[in-house]
């Protein structure tokens, strides 16, 4: 299974070799909508991850399960 990032890289390579993006997507069986996809997950989870990193630095022996419960 290939991730969306790798598929975008494959299409970019095919485009650098002279194919149009529509043709590159057709040849590689990639949906054209994946080329413009931007994940919102990192932006949404950034505050929670920062808090978890702060707790992990403060309490290194807790582990992720205990930190997840306390955040």
The ranges assigned to domains in the chain are: 4-35, 41-70
pTM for the whole thing? 0.56
pLDDT at 71: 60
pLDDT at 69: 77
pLDDT at 70: 67
Q: Of residues 64 and 21, which shows the higher confidence score?
A: 21
One DSSP character per residue, 12-41 reads: HHHHHTT--HHHHHHHHT--GGGGS----H
| Dist. CA 48–CA 41, nearest whole Å | 11
Over residues 15-51, the pLDDT tens digits come to 999 999 999 999 999 999 988 888 888 899 999 889 9
| Dist. CA 25–CA 1, nearest whole Å | 17
C-alpha radius of gyration, the chain, whole number: 19
């Amino acid at each position: 299974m290939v991730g969306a990032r790798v598929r975008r890289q494959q299409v970019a390579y095919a485009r650098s070799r002279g194919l149009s993006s529509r043709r590159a997507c057709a040849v590689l069986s990639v949906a054209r909508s994946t080329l413009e996809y931007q994940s919102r997950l990192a932006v949404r989870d950034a505050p929670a991850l920062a808090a978890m990193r702060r707790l992990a630095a403060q309490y290194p022996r807790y582990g992720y399960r205990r930190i997840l419960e306390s955040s």
